């Protein structure tokens, strides 16, 4: 079982409070006023939710506890922890994009396929690279176990 020290959890919690306090104030005030039409507030709500879920997986080794030895390469709590802040950042960027699109200060962006895909392309690239790395490590692990089993037969 993995132990998390207070030196890791306290700075993470303080950074969360410092970063999220203006967003939390906006979300609370918006929901108190009954703003169902304000879509960026909902994206900010998801941002807070995803960050809270990532904090849970940061402090609790949930998959490894219930499925020992099957989450060594894929499905580890630390991998899940890193996935949720990425989704949190995506929802934050979408909310900011919606707010700037509404503002008259910024010039309107194009609505073509390239302009819509460019902000999320790095995320899909990250997912593809992570899947490729996990697949490579799984193959290397199976080759290593095969070599250990058959090392007596090799010359």
**Residue 110 phi/psi, 5° resolution?**
-70, 160
pLDDT classification of 1: cutoffs 50, 70, 90: very low
The whole-angstrom separation of Cα 20 and Cα 16 is 6
Region 89-93: mean pLDDT is 89
Region 20-39: mean pLDDT is 82
The CB density around residue 100, as the number of other CB atoms within 10 Å, is 14
The whole-angstrom separation of Cα 40 and Cα 49 is 14
The answer on pLDDT for 11 being more than 60 is: yes
**Bind-site residues for Zn(2+):** 78, 82
**Bind-site residues:** 78, 82
The answer on pLDDT for 82 being more than 50 is: yes
Q: Are 123 and 78 spatial neighbours (Cβ–Cβ below 8 Å)? A: no
pLDDT in tens, 110-130: 566 666 666 677 878 888 888
Return the higher-pLDDT residue of 11 and 113.
11
Give me the pLDDT at residue 49, please. 92
pLDDT in tens, 41-69: 888 889 989 988 888 888 787 888 888 87
The whole-angstrom separation of Cα 72 and Cα 52 is 24
Q: Where are the domains of the chain?
A: 1-108, 110-155
Half-sphere CA count of 141, side-chain side, radius 13 A:
11
């Amino acid at each position: 079982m993995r132990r998390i020290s207070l030196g890791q959890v306290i700075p993470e919690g303080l950074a969360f409070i410092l970063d999220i306090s203006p967003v939390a104030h906006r979300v609370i005030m918006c929901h108190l006023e009954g703003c169902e039409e304000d879509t960026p507030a909902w994206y900010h709500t998801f941002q807070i939710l995803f960050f809270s879920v990532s904090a849970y997986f940061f402090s609790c080794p949930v998959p490894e506890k219930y499925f020992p030895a099957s989450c060594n390469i894929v499905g580890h709590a630390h991998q899940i922890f890193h996935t949720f802040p990425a989704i949190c950042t995506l929802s934050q960027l979408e909310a900011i994009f919606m707010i700037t699109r509404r503002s008259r200060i910024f010039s309107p962006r194009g609505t073509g396929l390239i302009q819509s895909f460019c902000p999320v392309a790095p995320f899909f690239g990250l997912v593809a690279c992570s899947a490729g790395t996990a697949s490579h490590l799984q193959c290397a692990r199976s080759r290593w176990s095969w070599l250990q089993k058959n090392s007596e037969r090799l010359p």
